[in-house]
A and B are shown apart, each in its own frame.
Chain A
Amino acid sequence: MIKLTNLSKIYRTDTVETTALNDLNLTIEKGSFIAIKGPSGCGKTTLLNILGLMDRASRGEYSFTGKNASTMSENERNRLRRKTIGFLFQKFNLISSLTVFENVELPLLYQKVNTSSRKERVMSILGQLGVEARKDHFPHQLSGGQQQRVSLARCVINNPELILADEPTGNLDSRNGEEVMRLLKDLHTSGRTIVMVTHDDHYATFADQIIHLNDGMIV
């Protein structure tokens, strides 16, 4: 599903050049659950952003579902991301001025899904994740675990093939962390490919494969 060949990402300022990813080669099969581990600044998040088509590599090739993502236009990347990738963040990244329902329906809104279908799908996913009763609440009225479940609902509402999770349990207590990991595992079981960045050894064990990154290289 994903193939990275000699992929590098270099950040440049006037005086400093920082290599975040260094000649990375990686293949991720469809339906796998990968955990990426490594110390701070090793390039985990950069890798996740490139995989999620939010950032571009400085060098090398990135093939996503057989298409060369490196050469795609911004609009093509946007369309592909909208249809196939879901994101889960440590800080949840919910829009504070929108309700739970409105946050979750956003991806469907941008896919021009009609109102009744949107409502049906949003209510269904909120029901599956146990936050249906909170649909009219604003993010700041929810607990961290609830916010992450809403974030997960938004992530999977458009049935993405790939879920990218950037330390999804980082802001949660252990009970809510376990709950989120269980949900991710369920999604994996239902056939989704999951790439998760984590610091936590325990949560990494939920994955099929653990990749260690150091100084932008797989070790």
Chain B
Amino acid sequence: MILKHIKLSFRQIIRQKFSFAIAILGLALGLAAAGHLISYTLYYLDYDQNVENQGEWYRLRFSDLHPEFGELATASFFIPPAAMLLDDIPEVLEHIVYWPSVVALNLRCDDKPFQMPALTYVSEIFPKHYQMEIKYGNPDSLLSDRSGILISESFAQSFFGNINPVGKQIYVGDIPKYHISGVFADLRDNLHLKHDHYILWPEDTEAAPTSEEDWYITGHVRVRIAHPEETKAVERRLNEVLEQYRNLIGQSGTIQVHLDPIRQIHFMPNLKDDAPTMPILNIVSILVLAGLLIISAMVNFLIIIGLSWKKRSDEFYFRRAVGAGRAEIFGQLICEYGIYIGLALLIGIILYSATMGIFEDLVKVDVSRYSMVDLPYSVYSALIFLVLALVSGILMSWRHSRIKLDQNTWQGVHRNRGITVLLFVQMTISFALIAVAVSMYLHYSFVRGLDWGWDHQNTVQYKFISIMDEGRSGYSDARVIRQRIRELPGVLKESVSNFNLISESLDNQNGFHEVPIYLQDAEGNTPIRSYLSSCTPDFFETRGIKLVSGQIPDTATDTQVVVNQSFADKYLVNPVGSRLREGDDLDESNWYEVVAVAEDCWWFPPYQEMIPLITILKPYVIKYHQITWREGMKQEVLSGLEHIFAETASSGVFGYSSQEVELSQAGFYEQDLIYKNISMFMAIFVVLIAVMGVYAVSAQSIHAQMKDISIRKICGAEMSDLQKLYFRSYLYLYIASALPGLYLASNLIRLYIDKLALDNSASMMGYPAAILIMIPIVFVPLSLNIFMAYKADPTRYLQAD
């Protein structure tokens, strides 16, 4: 009997190829796409999970709670005193420090530049903590002394080729300072502290941190605590210790230590001095979207299968008439349903595997490790899906097997209600996803099209430490470098600054120093908090930054500053000529004079509010050079610059690195691009499903009413009369699904848009756009069916049966 059912199932597929192709392929595609989305979320949910004894590790960080400034939340802790402080706490079993140096060095190996970003210092047990697979080197002495550098396999391959590089000497200038101590297999991407190289942070567990300098360096510190309930005791103990050193630490508010479980740190955004993070709600929303996708595909599947069974009610009637019981009909239907679901699952798995590479390109994340097939989550996901599918199948089979020999039309009408509910669900999801997709598209266009307030086209930025001076050992003269750059053929303009013009986060590493500032004209003696940095006087004109008021002298003194408009609007009534100072020292030399107010510029993504910024016009140290090339001269300028910086670096101790500005800016919005692409892809998929759903359901309901339509036609009804008749019911459905759909969309959109500090009302256009886009989706297929019904020969339906 089962074989007969299976044969009949395939015969049905062959008889209704188009409908079944839509149902089965639609579900398969939905499953594959949802699988990819779940893999993508797992990639992030698994961030930093691959550490030894992962559940026992916590990140140590502090926040400074100030009555005036609020909470200054950082992701860091005090690096030099960490060892001494933590060794005194018995609950802390182990600890790790991590400090990425700000300064790149001029390193050479095998007589060629050994170009790598600033050194990353870690504790000796770090390779064990990240469970590194060591390719070369002695695992017991990888980071045993200050001169050993541990490098990644791909980094070693690119520099040394296929040889074992362990023992190779690395020179700083002409002095042999480091050696390669080991090579580790490339780390997975979803690690918070991932780098291509590590060097030992020498810890001093004996000496007490007795000077301010000991507390100056902050970085990532992790501690291992066996029992979660002990974390509070550790926090309390550290708070007490820090209170003892309050005067040295230099924080003006109340310092509070926090222990963050490692599994959570990637989802704690907006902390200073942190690696890139993301809100957990983004992950939740992607999971919601994946769920909606499956529901939509499943609803489409159920509609088409339901309609096909409805078409076959005569067959079921005849089967009953010749002796089949309800159980037999039910068995046949559930068997057919199982075959269809099984086919969809099989094709879905094939599609999922085949499109893994395409999806990775789309999201720019290596999700291959998070293949649904390999993960424990896949069991839950498959179970949820199978339960959903099974319940739906049983319900549908049960209802369709209920056909009675004295069946009347009312049962048919009643059954349509189920399909209408499914169509309602599908349209609701369509409304939601279209609104989300359009909003994400507009949001992305908004952030990418934002006026940054400064000229950044065709520009490259070099990071290289030099000074506005000559004759200091190890340092280059910035003025000489600038002159050489300006003389380079193809250079349109060049500027220098002490702050990074493409900063992902506003911190000391990027040259943005948040400091207390005292205003001369202010009442009382309460400082304000502002960012402070420096650049040369010509910076503003070169970068096309408009002045709101005041003038910038050609040659400035080290007490003249420019403030941005945000600073002026917030703190100064008459900005030009007003005076301000940094810190408590009232000495006259510490006072700055505001000479001009410049328009606000985005040196950072607009996920942070515009900052108040003071720029000193006479920098001593120069960290960043920005060079703009003439159109068509990019290659010439870039190779000339490379030559200048390589040559300059070779005679000093500092290394250099470069970034193309527009390319780096685009990196700020990679996540937004991914969300945009995902939501657009899903919206297109759901729209196609919705069109097919509306078409199939309206075709079925109109077909079932062809006799009524024919009667109306012979009574004189025209096309418009029929349209009015059917449009009305679909209009109700349209309105009923629009309301929950747009409500759902508003919640999803808010998860993404809320992180933007600027008012972006353009994203709200997603709602009216969804309302407009859904009109043709609902009414075009319906019109097509009405048109076909109107054109059909009415005599077929009016003659005696």
Using CB atoms and an 8 Å cutoff, list the residues of chain A in contact with chain B: 45, 49, 52, 54-55, 74-75, 78-79, 81-83, 87, 89-91, 93-97, 106-107, 109-111, 154, 158, 166-167, 170-171
Contacts and interface: CB of A to CB of B under 8 A. Distances in A.
A51 to B, nearest CB: 12
B606 interface: no
Nearest to A98: B708
B573 interface: no
Contacts of B721: 109-110
B795 A93 contact: no
A89 B798 contact: yes
B409 A90 contact: no
Contacts of A79: 716
B794 interface: yes
16 contacts: A52-B714, A55-B793, A78-B718, A81-B714, A89-B799, A91-B799, A91-B800, A95-B711, A97-B708, A106-B711, A106-B715, A106-B717, A110-B715, A110-B717, A110-B721, A111-B716
A154 B715 contact: yes
A94 B801 CA distance: 14
B794 A54 contact: yes
Contacts of B717: 106, 110
A54 B795 contact: yes
B795 A110 contact: no
Contacts, number: 65
Given A87-B714, A110-B718, A54 B800 contact: no
Nearest to B708: A95
A75 B409 CA distance: 32
Contact of A93 (B711, B718, B791): B711
Contact of A110 (B707, B716, B791, B800): B716
Nearest to B798: A93
Given A95-B708, A96-B409, A97-B708, A166 B799 contact: yes
A96 B410 CA distance: 11
B715 A107 contact: yes
A74 B790 CA distance: 10
B712 interface: yes
Interface in B748-801: 791, 793-795, 798-801
B711 A81 contact: no
Residue of B711, B715, B718, B721 most packed against chain A (CB within 10 A): B715
Given A54-B795, A55-B793, A96-B409, A91 B708 contact: no
Nearest to B712: A106
B795 A49 contact: yes
A93 B721 CA distance: 19
Residue of A52, A78, A83 most packed against chain B (CB within 10 A): A78
Given A54-B794, A110-B721, A91 B801 contact: yes
A54 B793 contact: yes
Nearest to B714: A87
Interface string B143-177: 00000000000000000000000000000000000
B795 A81 contact: no
Contacts of B708: 95-97
Residue of B409, B721, B799, B801 most packed against chain A (CB within 10 A): B799
Given A82-B715, A91-B801, 20 more contacts: A54-B793, A75-B718, A79-B716, A81-B714, A87-B714, A89-B798, A91-B798, A91-B799, A91-B800, A93-B707, A93-B710, A93-B711, A95-B708, A95-B712, A96-B409, A106-B716, A110-B715, A110-B718, A110-B721, A158-B716
Contacts of A90: 799-800
A94 B715 CA distance: 11
Interface in B706-745: 707-708, 710-718, 721
A72 to B, nearest CB: 14
Nearest to B409: A96
A63 B663 CA distance: 77
Contacts of B714: 52, 54, 81, 87, 93
Contacts of A154: 715
Contacts of B718: 75, 78, 110
B27 to A, nearest CB: 34
A45 B799 contact: yes
Nearest to B413: A97
A95 to B, nearest CB: 5
Contacts of B712: 95, 106, 110
Contacts of A95: 708, 711-712
Residue of B791, B798, B801 most packed against chain A (CB within 10 A): B798
B331 to A, nearest CB: 33
Contacts of A96: 409, 708
Contacts of A49: 795
Interface in B633-686: none
B493 to A, nearest CB: 70
Contacts of B707: 93
A41 to B, nearest CB: 12
Residue of A54, A75, A81, A158 most packed against chain B (CB within 10 A): A54
Nearest to A83: B716
Interface in B237-279: none
Contacts of A93: 707, 710-711, 714, 798
A87 B710 CA distance: 12
A49 B713 CA distance: 13
A170 B795 contact: no
Contacts of B801: 91
Nearest to A82: B716
Q: Which 3 A-B pairs have the closest CB atoms?
A: A82-B716, A110-B716, A106-B715
Contacts of A158: 716
A17 to B, nearest CB: 18
A115 B688 CA distance: 42
B795 A55 contact: yes
Nearest to B408: A140
Nearest to B719: A75
A170 B799 CA distance: 12
A111 B717 CA distance: 9
Nearest to B791: A74
Contacts of B798: 87, 89, 91, 93
A69 B714 CA distance: 16
B716 A78 contact: yes
Contacts of A45: 795, 799
B670 to A, nearest CB: 57
Given A49-B795, A54-B794, A96-B409, A170 B715 contact: no
Contacts of A94: 711
B310 to A, nearest CB: 18
Nearest to B707: A93
A178 to B, nearest CB: 20
B723 to A, nearest CB: 13
A119 to B, nearest CB: 17
Given A54-B795, A93-B711, A97-B708, A170 B716 contact: no
A54 B709 CA distance: 13
Residue of B409, B711, B712, B716 most packed against chain A (CB within 10 A): B716
Nearest to B801: A91
Nearest to B721: A110
Nearest to A164: B714
Nearest to B799: A45
Contacts of A171: 800
Contacts of B800: 89-91, 167, 170-171
B794 to A, nearest CB: 6
A124 B241 CA distance: 101
B406 to A, nearest CB: 14
A91 B721 CA distance: 24
Contacts of A167: 800
A167 B799 CA distance: 10
A109 to B, nearest CB: 8
A109 B716 CA distance: 9
A82 B714 CA distance: 7
A106 B794 CA distance: 16
A64 to B, nearest CB: 15
Interface in B534-558: none
A83 to B, nearest CB: 8
